Structure 1
Amino acid sequence: MATLTLRRTRVTLPSLNERGLHLSQVTSLEGARGRVSEFHYGDADLRALDLSDAHLMDGRISGVRVERARLEGVRVDSVEVAGCDLSSLYWSDSKITRAVFRDCKLMGSVLENVTLADVLFENCKLDYSTLTRIRAAGPVIFSQCSLRETTFTAAELSAAAFEECDLRLTEFDGGTYRAMDLRGNDLSRIRGLGSLKQVIIDQAQTLQLAEALAVELGITYGEDLDAA
């Protein structure tokens, strides 16, 4: 079973190449009784994608572009999502397990009450998104993702790790982040430092946090006043 390890965090990846597993091409993610398994759905341009109380299992979604997507009560198990544009996605009351989102646009998305376990976001754009009450019930990795002005509200991300992500004006508004691994990122422009108790950083990042705190507190430097 394939895994990806980032320092102390290890994510179990979807096993879509196992012997005996054949992915059938489908034209829709709406299956009988809400379940679609062993599938490949790709190269589609949609005005809208609405899924409710669905179960996507052992599949691959690639090259899908959607103007408006709304997913509610959707369970995802062992699924790869690659090269998709799901900007302005609304995803709520769902569980995502052993999944990979790679090279996807998720800008301006809203995720609410979504549980994640063994999930990898790699080279994805989540700028201007709002992630409310997101819970990492298992390991979650954000690698080389853009999260500019993204807001995490009341999230539980103790099992999450970030690496080489764009965290400019990313805000952490309440929640639990103890042991969240932020090493390998520029933290100088993040917001909501009061929520980031007991996270893991490199010692060199202390100065970045100090810079972010000065901005958040609206500090004025005396040298600037004297030079005015």
Structure 2
Amino acid sequence: MSKIKVEKPKLSLHLPAANFQEIHDMDEPYLTNCTITNCTIERENIDKIEFSQVTFKNVLFNDVTFRNIELTDVTFENCDLSNADFMGGIKHRVEFKESKMLGINLSDATLGNVLFENCIMNLSSYGYSSLKQVQFANCSLQNADYYECNFKKVGFQQCDINEVNFSGTSLKGIDISSSTFERLSVTLEDLDGCEVSSEQAIGFARMLGLKVK
């Protein structure tokens, strides 16, 4: 079981508190060097919003669309990002911890040095995204969609990846041996070079119709 080395967000120890609504008073949607806690961000639709050196803690994102979002040195802790639309843009040195992220849209994006830890991410979408140095640790990823993704140094450590769609995504060098699943959407070609456990290998053989004795 390999663990991917992910760079941590570069954050000051003491970030001043901020109110998300302040962003509406700015010429460009941009927040930096602050912490946003214990609030609800509701019914926001902002294109090309940027967050740099920001900590979100205990924040509910309700009916939020931030397409082409840019996140640099950002953490989300105990947040609810379910069904948030973060399609496109760049996410660099970002951590999502202990968060609910059901159905979040992270497709058509570039993710570099991103950690997802102890998150519920069922039905999340990453289609056509590029993931480099990204770690999923102890996450539930049931029915997540990684269609036509580009993986480089991506780890799935003790995750539930049942019914995940990896169609069109090469899993060469990707270690899923510590994760659990009953079924995956994946081709033999995409599985070439994937690191699996012996039990998983038997499961794949059965999926192919082989009778394992």
TM interval, short-chain normalised: 0.7 to 0.9
2:32 is the alignment partner of 1:27: no
Match of 1:135 in 2: 130
Q: Highest Rg: 1 or 2?
A: 1
Match of 1:154 in 2: 148
Match of 2:169 in 1: 175
Match of 1:226 in 2: none
Letter in 1 for 2:135: I
Letter in 2 for 1:25: A
Q: Percent identity?
A: 19
For structure 2, the 5+ residue unaligned runs are: none
Distance 1:38 1:172, change over 3 A: same
Letter in 1 for 2:147: T
- Aligned 8 A contact 2:158 2:179 in 1: yes
TM-score by length of 2: 0.87
List aligned pairs for 1:7-26, cutoff 5 A: 7=2, 9-17=4-12, 22-26=14-18
2:157 is the alignment partner of 1:163: yes
Match of 1:225 in 2: none
Which string of whole-angstrom CA distances, capped at 9 and with x for unpartnered residues, describes residues 17-69 of structure 1?
45xxx412111173553321111012112332333212211110111112211
Structure with bigger RCO (C-alpha 8 Å, 6+ apart): 2
Which string of whole-angstrom CA distances, capped at 9 and with x for unpartnered residues, describes residues 175-212 of structure 1?
2332122121124422224333322224443123224x
What SS is found at the alignment partner of 1:208?
A: helix
TM-score by length of 1: 0.82
CA RMSD, 1 decimal: 2.2
Whole-angstrom CA distance in 1 between matches of 2:41 and 2:93:
26
- Aligned 8 A contact 2:163 2:181 in 1: no
Letter in 2 for 1:134: S
Whole-angstrom CA distance in 2 between matches of 1:44 and 1:33:
22
List aligned pairs for 1:8-87, cutoff 5 A: 9-17=4-12, 22-28=14-20, 30=23, 32-87=27-82
Question: Structure 1 stretches (4+) deviating beyond 6 angstroms?
Answer: none
Whole-angstrom CA distance in 2 between matches of 1:210 and 1:89:
37
**Offset at 1:120?**
0.3
Q: How many residues align?
A: 207
List aligned pairs for 1:188-207, cutoff 5 A: 188-194=182-188, 195-207=190-202
Which string of whole-angstrom CA distances, capped at 9 and with x for unpartnered residues, describes residues 83-112 of structure 1?
111111112221000110011111122222
